[in-house]
Amino acid sequence: MKNTRLMGWLTLGAFLWGCGGPLEEQSGTQEPETRANEVTLAGPLPYRGINLAGAEFGSAIPGTHGKDYVYPDPAYANYTTADYYITKGMTTFRLPFMWERLQRTRNAAFDATELSRLKTTVNRLTGKGATVILDPHNYARYNGALIGSGIPNADFADFWTRLANEFKGNAKVVFGLMNEPHSMPTEQWLAAANAAIQAIRNTGATQLILVPGNAWTGAHSWTSNWYGTPNATVMLQVKDPRNNYAFEVHQYLDSDSSGTQASCVSTTIGAQRMQSFTNWLRANGKKGFLGEVAGGTDSVCLSALDNILDHLEANSDVYLGWTYWAGGPWWGSYFFSLEPASGVDKPQMSALSSHL
């Protein structure tokens, strides 16, 4: 659960713009030819990488690109982060963006300028050999209204029909249905997810689909019932005609798994919190993906990060990989940021490096 954590950073882009002026979109930017190669793509988990934040930033809707939010691409504000992570051995980028910016009115065509930004970013990243996970970062909402009640499932399916049609020809794209659904009946989210999955497959798209659960899709709470019927019960009813999907969970290492604190409970808390979800995957013949994980810079957190990734690798029969939260030059002093400062690696990179 990171909605509370994110709110404290949503205005960061506007703050930085105020300090240094708007970030202009640039053309003809030269960049080194950095690619994910076959060596980095090998290993026990095929998808190993990071969330490239920026396109989901800001509370203004749609907001101003370069001021309120930015796409992680050198065409926009010289955002060259991806090359750094590829050289470290990362193979995968989860790309958060906002549904309302891409589709300004439900059931309408995508905004042409925003779609161009998204496609430019995706094509450049996949052109480097990396995998991109498309992540509508909306918490199962559109302008604050819940999918399945305030927003018809058909509208969510329409969004995914349009998005899948744009990217179904790129085998390096993975479809992440939605970031962290929460505060709704689990059955309501299941119906929305199944509508979106069917819409994607109706386009002829064959790519992997990542399906989150309810309750911010926490691994630690997958079998709990404090939020309603457990994900462990309801999400077994996911229907994919191609059977090419995995369950996306998020897991933080602080006292309440919220990702709002830099400290970690213990060096082994990650594996402990993942275990029940791991058992559920294996018992039901399912696959899992850790879409968000992070820790602070102290020795306990660094060991805890190493521990949770050790757990995924030890259970690679049921896991496809992970993406750390988060990278991007707009994070400033954010305690989870993996963005290098003046060319110096962040401490968390030392914990991740043996898993790349």
φ, ψ for residue 147 (rounded to 5)? -65, 135
Neighbours of 75 (CB within 10 A): 18
* Distance, CA of 275 to CA of 16 (rounded, Å): 40
Instruction: Give the three-state DSSP class for 87.
Output: helix
Active-site residue, from 166, 180, 248, 339: 180
Active site residue 180: yes
Alpha helices (H) along the chain: 3-7, 12-20, 38-41, 81-87, 99-102, 112-127, 153-167, 186-202, 231-234, 269-284, 299-314, 347-353
What DSSP string runs through 209-256?
EEEE-SGGGBSTTTT--TTSS-HHHHGGG---TT--EEEEEE---STT
Asked if 90 and 128 count as a contact pair (C-beta separation under 8 A), the reply is: no
* Distance, CA of 248 to CA of 263 (rounded, Å): 24
Active site residue 313: no
The dihedral of CA 151, 56, 2, 191: what is its sign? Answer: positive
Active-site residue, from 56, 114, 292, 339: 292
Q: Could you list the active site residues?
A: 180, 292
